[in-house]
Structure 1
Amino acid sequence: MPTTASQEIFNEAIHHLNNGQAPRAIEICQSALVRNSNDVNMVALLGACYLQTNDISAAEQQLNKAIDLAPTFAKPHEDLGLLLVNDDRYEEAIPLLQKAVHLDSQLDVAFFNLGKALAAVGRGKEADQAYEAAFNLSPERKAMAMAAKAQKEGRLEDAEKGYREVLKSNPDNVDALRMLAQLASAAAHYDDAERFLKRAVAKAPDFLLALLDLGEIYKNQNRYHEAVDTFKKAIAIAPNRPKAYLQLASTLAPASDPKEAIAIYQRCLEIAPGHPGALLSMAHQLKTAGRLDEGIKAYEDCIQSRPDNGETYWSLANLKTYKFNDTQIAEMESRSAQQDIPASSRINFLFALGKAFDDRKDYQKAWHYYQLGNNEQRAEINYDPVHTEVTNDKVIATFTADLIAKYAGLGNSDKAPIFIVGLPRSGSTLLEQIIASHSQVEGTSELPYLTRVSTSLSKNRVDGVNYPEAVLELKERHLKQLGQDYLDAAEIHRVEKTPYFIDKMPNNFPHLGFLHCILPNAKIIDARRNPMDACVGNLRQLYAKGQNFAYDQTDIGEYYLQYQRLMDHWHEVMPGKILTCQYEETVADLEGQVKRILEYLELPWEDSCVNFHDNDRAVRTPSSEQVRQPIYTRSIGKWRRYESELEELKEVLEDVLPRYEKYLSAT
């Protein structure tokens, strides 16, 4: 007759499970079940082990078997109820959790999850009763709930105080640590958030949500190596959950070749077919990799899955080569007019409609939608042009000709970086594609590290001296180390290991003095375009993030003036250091300009730079499909299509327009 496992074996499995060693606990349970497949204690424990490792299918199978073997055993009812709540299967969870608390009225966790399930299906009064029972059984849980309520209501100081009170009585409460990390992260106190999450993961190595949050902290700081490692740990813990795959792929996308990210998104879709987030993100990467037909198919599949998501329509419009049909335009107009649509989705629809009517040469209607989109987006973001001007005043006052001369040649001597700067929509992607078509150069897209290295000078300062003034205190060793800090951060993007690489972050132009001090041998190219085309190009573009100056004619005009002002300063204090490439001259005389660029970069001539459109490299910017075509001049003078609407912009740019007179006319 089969016998149950000994208490010693059962306790050993429990010990491993409680110490983050679920795979070993699973082995012990499985071994015991070979001797007696109906040992209900081991069946239930095996289900709990699978639940901890997020093997949902296996956990559900074992827990159902345990319930079938012992209908009055409360624990498998509780565990299966938890599984179903986590899987958003609330109606199925409710009777199981009700049975669990009926069988054992001391199960505070079961009462709490019952409250969550009841609340999710709209049974609020019953949910309150379940929560109250949970709180009566566990004052700590009540304290956590009160802190979470304060957090949800925006009373962040009360929330923080509540979580810290919980930790005073129970330093091992990993949920309180995670919640404190969320508060710290929301305030951009990433060091504190990282510390809380590391404590939580140290205490509970299989705490999936904490690992995902920690990976997100790393990703937000562009610490891609650490983010990738963390998300891979999360996948090892939860191989059947899509979120960890989504996070890993979204980290790999900007950090390396998009092929790896695409493979991860495909794995996510195998687990969760039709997942709209995975479909949309994979479509972005297929576009980046130049697999346009596959990308369009993924975008269209995403529309089928989430027709109310305006971002998908704008993503199609942002291909620049995609044309919407009448049915799609009618759908976008209908959805953008709905009152209950989220603002972000409406804005995406509006910009997509602007592009649709621009393609049809109905410029009056196109501008109508662009203007609506800009007005709504401007209301959603924060941009202070006065702050921009004051910051640039400090930069100009700090990086004088005397300082540049004082620091000349003291920084890191590495010649590998090539920086392309300028106003967005001014031809920087075209220049990157041309230069990256050279066998000795790799294009790494827009890297955030120069800004990050510069702002590191403001870290941990209590005396109020920040960047840029903090540069005045630097010694030779500091300059060399700061240059190395940039190179180390950029290394993950240098997949091809060529002698040179391109950093195409347009917004680096305010930092060129700092750049020259820490990397004196780096090359700098200024992608310049006439102010009207450059500014109107921004007013017709919806950015995924950043570029908050781009949604108002006065804002973008004044930003161009600041760009012009800074570039004039850099040419004055660093004569001969920067090569200006005028977009209109590049498209008019490609071969002559390529020769000029390669001479400045001290690179030998290669025909591939003229035939840049044959390069199948990944391109991550809105111009990705445009730079896969031979050179063309049809983008010059596009601003004149909307000239009657641009009096505000022309007034702001009045003083600088004469400098670009010969470039302002359409070809």
Structure 2
Amino acid sequence: MTEATAKSPKPEQASAIPPDVERARHAVEALVSQNRLDDAIACYRGVLARHPRLSGVHAAIGALLRRQGHHEQALQALETAYSLQPNDPSLHTCLAVVLQEMGRIDEAAAQFRHAIALAPDEPAHYLGLVRLQALKAEDPALAALHRLAAQESSLTPSRRASLHFALGKAMTDTGAPQAGFSHILRANALRRASLSYDEQTVLGAMRQVGTHYTAAMMALPQTGHSSAQPVFIVGMPRSGSTLVEQILASHPEAYGAGEVSTLVDTIKEAARRNPAWKSPMPFSTLSETDCLATAEDYLARMNRLAVDWTGTAPPRLIVNKMLDNFVHIGLILRLWPKARIIHTLRDPIDTCLSCFSIPFDHLDFTFDLGELGRYYRQYRALMAHWEQILPAGTILNVQYEDLVQNLPHHAQRITTYCGLLWNPACLRFHENRRIVRTSSLAQVRTPLYRSALHRWRPDDESLRPLLDGLGRTP
């Protein structure tokens, strides 16, 4: 559930592309669609053996390496691309994205500023910058944003949305939150107009889950996989989930895999073998052997993601922070009865306003206040259902406001729930250099702060669609 980031350069942007490079590009696209990333990288490296100065091919390799989690290698490939084509702003944005995920925030911000200098009319560069740094009133980038806004009619709707998201963040940071919210409203309206979000289908699917997973069904004897390795963090975006994952991932026995689609990917693969997996509640028609094979497939996939794990043995715990796995809690506990599920919560309005301020990819419900409020209410209804039908203590609720006010206590609650002995490194989460890809990647690189508590809110009239969606009375 990461926010929109700068697009990677095309494999080659020269005016004349050698025919073998074009063939390689098509081959790589096919390999990537099959998730054969090693083969795709090897294909492009074969091109470089013949054409070593193709900047775009080096950059494309860097993008694939980043996707695999090999950020140091990705950085080397992108730096090579930059040495061949230093005036390509897209290379600076690619470098910025890799650096920010590595925790090198100041260097990443500098790369976004280089991109702005080369292409001052591209709003995405400013958006990348303001997500990392709070601009000051005298910052030249802020003046440039206002100049760009004066001529926004020349921009496409997508670029106008990026412009207003950037201005919304910048104006809020400079002490003008009302003006900032006005820009955020415009940005979201532009994004929402480009989407085909089917609210009834999404909310209906959530409601249907509760009808399949009943207390009686969840109380049936369970065999399941014996592994206690899986940990799932679920909830809403901007609810403190990245902080919780960072705390856990700072423990020497735990690995944070981030927001990965591995659970859904595993079930889709299982459905290709047995159509029963297409059902929301498939277990009545599945054999124990099939269930164990699917559970083992997920574990194998998650362990393969731990490319930068330095321990001599596999991680004792691997954390999956794909937040909408709250829909699959029943399935998770049937497959792995010993799995841990951590539910992160934050004040509903603060959560929703924070979601509304960020141009997330693949979170179509976040671009309209009413839809956002209704999604939140249905998610909380489903979480209440799980709490009602599962034994007490199955799910650990972590309230963001409580965590921020008393980090030592709640960090120990989290590690104890996960079966880990306490390790003080969990309180030094900001020193952890692990890769972080979420919208909170800059925040978890700094010591804990309380400025996000009770964030500024617009008046109730401006918030009325959200309040109605949440079911709040005036």
Distance in 2 (alpha carbons) for counterparts of 1:217 and 1:558:
39
Alignment correspondent of 2:118: 305
> 1:562 and 1:303, CA in 2 relative to 1: closer, same or farther beyond 3 A?
same
Percent identity over the alignment is: 29
Report the AA paired with residue 310 of structure 1.
Answer: P
| Aligned pairs for 1:464-613 within 5 A | 466-494=278-306, 495-496=308-309, 497-543=314-360, 545-575=361-391, 576-613=393-430
Report the AA paired with residue 15 of structure 2.
Answer: D
Alignment correspondent of 1:387: 201
Greater RCO, 1 or 2 (C-alpha within 8 Å, sep 6+) = 2
> 1:404 and 1:234, CA in 2 relative to 1: closer, same or farther beyond 3 A?
farther
Alignment correspondent of 2:97: 284
- Residue 624 of structure 1: CA displacement? 1.4
Q: Is the 8 A contact 2:365 2:372 kept in 1?
A: yes
Alignment correspondent of 1:334: 147
Report the AA paired with residue 558 of structure 1.
Answer: R
Q: Is the 8 A contact 1:423 1:507 kept in 2?
A: yes
Q: TM-score, normalised by structure 1?
A: 0.64
Aligned equivalent of 1:88, options 6, 11, 15: 15
| Aligned pairs for 1:243-258 within 5 A | 243-258=56-71
Q: Which moved more, 1:589-598 or 1:290-299?
A: 290-299
Q: Is the 8 A contact 1:458 1:467 kept in 2?
A: no
- Confirm whether residue 266 of structure 1 aligns to residue 79 of structure 2: yes
Q: Which moved more, 1:327-336 or 1:230-239?
A: 230-239
Q: Which runs of 4+ in 1 moved over 6 A?
A: none
Higher helix share: 1
Q: Which moved more, 1:317-326 or 1:632-641?
A: 317-326
Report the AA paired with residue 339 of structure 1.
Answer: S
- Residue 326 of structure 1: CA displacement? 5.0
| Aligned pairs for 1:60-79 within 5 A | none
- Residue 385 of structure 1: CA displacement? 1.2
1:109-155 Cα deviation digits (max 9, x unpaired): xxxx9xxxxxxxxxxxxxxxxxxxxxxxxxxxxxxxxxxxxxxxxxx
Alignment correspondent of 1:319: 132
Q: Is the 8 A contact 2:267 2:277 kept in 1?
A: no
1:210-232 Cα deviation digits (max 9, x unpaired): 44334334545655445444444
Q: Is the 8 A contact 2:345 2:398 kept in 1?
A: yes
Distance in 1 (alpha carbons) for counterparts of 2:144 and 2:261:
37
Count of aligned pairs between the two proteins: 456
Distance in 2 (alpha carbons) for counterparts of 1:237 and 1:422:
49
> 1:390 and 1:498, CA in 2 relative to 1: closer, same or farther beyond 3 A?
same
Distance in 1 (alpha carbons) for counterparts of 2:389 and 2:22:
51
Report the AA paired with residue 376 of structure 1.
Answer: L
Q: Which runs of 5+ in 1 are unaligned?
A: 1-55, 57-85, 91-112, 114-205, 659-667
CA RMSD of aligned residues (A): 2.7
| Aligned pairs for 1:197-216 within 5 A | 207-216=20-29
Report the AA paired with residue 559 of structure 1.
Answer: Y
SS of the equivalent of 1:421 reads strand
- Residue 356 of structure 1: CA displacement? 0.8
Q: Which runs of 5+ in 2 are unaligned?
A: 1-11
> 1:334 and 1:464, CA in 2 relative to 1: closer, same or farther beyond 3 A?
farther
SS of the equivalent of 2:231 reads strand
> 1:599 and 1:614, CA in 2 relative to 1: closer, same or farther beyond 3 A?
same
- Residue 574 of structure 1: CA displacement? 2.7
Alignment correspondent of 1:360: 174
Aligned equivalent of 1:409, options 186, 198, 223: 223
Q: Is the 8 A contact 1:257 1:618 kept in 2?
A: no
> 1:89 and 1:618, CA in 2 relative to 1: closer, same or farther beyond 3 A?
closer
SS of the equivalent of 1:527 reads strand
Distance in 1 (alpha carbons) for counterparts of 2:51 and 2:422:
51
Distance in 1 (alpha carbons) for counterparts of 2:122 and 2:273:
42
Q: Is the 8 A contact 2:341 2:394 kept in 1?
A: yes
Alignment correspondent of 2:158: 344
1:345-365 Cα deviation digits (max 9, x unpaired): 221111010011101221221
Aligned equivalent of 2:183, options 357, 369, 378: 369
SS of the equivalent of 1:638 reads coil
- Residue 277 of structure 1: CA displacement? 2.2
Distance in 2 (alpha carbons) for counterparts of 1:377 and 1:339:
16
Alignment correspondent of 2:4: none
Report the AA paired with residue 372 of structure 2.
Answer: I
Q: TM-score, normalised by structure 2?
A: 0.88
- Residue 550 of structure 1: CA displacement? 0.6
> 1:487 and 1:320, CA in 2 relative to 1: closer, same or farther beyond 3 A?
farther
Report the AA paired with residue 346 of structure 1.
Answer: R
> 1:588 and 1:259, CA in 2 relative to 1: closer, same or farther beyond 3 A?
same
1:69-111 Cα deviation digits (max 9, x unpaired): xxxxxxxxxxxxxxxxx94269xxxxxxxxxxxxxxxxxxxxx
Q: Is the 8 A contact 1:215 1:230 kept in 2?
A: yes
